[in-house]
Amino acid sequence: MLFLDSTPNITPITDLINTWIHIGQALVGSIGALAFIFAFIWKITAVESKSALAAKQWIQRIVVGTIGVEVASSLVGILTSSVPTR
């Protein structure tokens, strides 16, 4: 059985994963930046302290979400590089 001797080529799968990671980072980065700007303007222009607190919480959520995407992409990079290619 000759086909069992060869190792699978995972390069196309790795390239696909990396492409989707870059697309996700671009989307989160652009949408996150826009949301951050709107939340910051909301916080500055808020009349009530309750509204300013809500804006501050949204800013924190946006920052944590952006950091989460970066950590997830690093973990996927580590996992895909740990798979032996040969």
pLDDT beneath 70: ranges in the chain: 1-7, 85-86
- Asked if residue 69 belongs to a domain, the reply is yes
Q: Please name the residue that has the structure tokens 């989160």.
A: 28
Query: How many domains is the chain partitioned into structurally?
Result: 1
- Asked if residue 48 belongs to a domain, the reply is yes
- Asked if residue 3 belongs to a domain, the reply is no
CA–chain centroid gap for 63, Å, is 11
Relative orientation angle of helices 49-82 and 11-45, to the nearest 10 degrees? 170
6: DSSP letter: S
Domain that holds residue 46: 13-82
* Contact predicate 69/28, CB 8 Å: yes
- CA-to-CA distance for 85 and 82, rounded, in angstroms? 9
Q: Which residues contact 16 (CB under 8 A, 6 or more apart)?
A: none
- CA-to-CA distance for 62 and 39, rounded, in angstroms? 9
Q: What is the pLDDT of residue 78?
A: 84
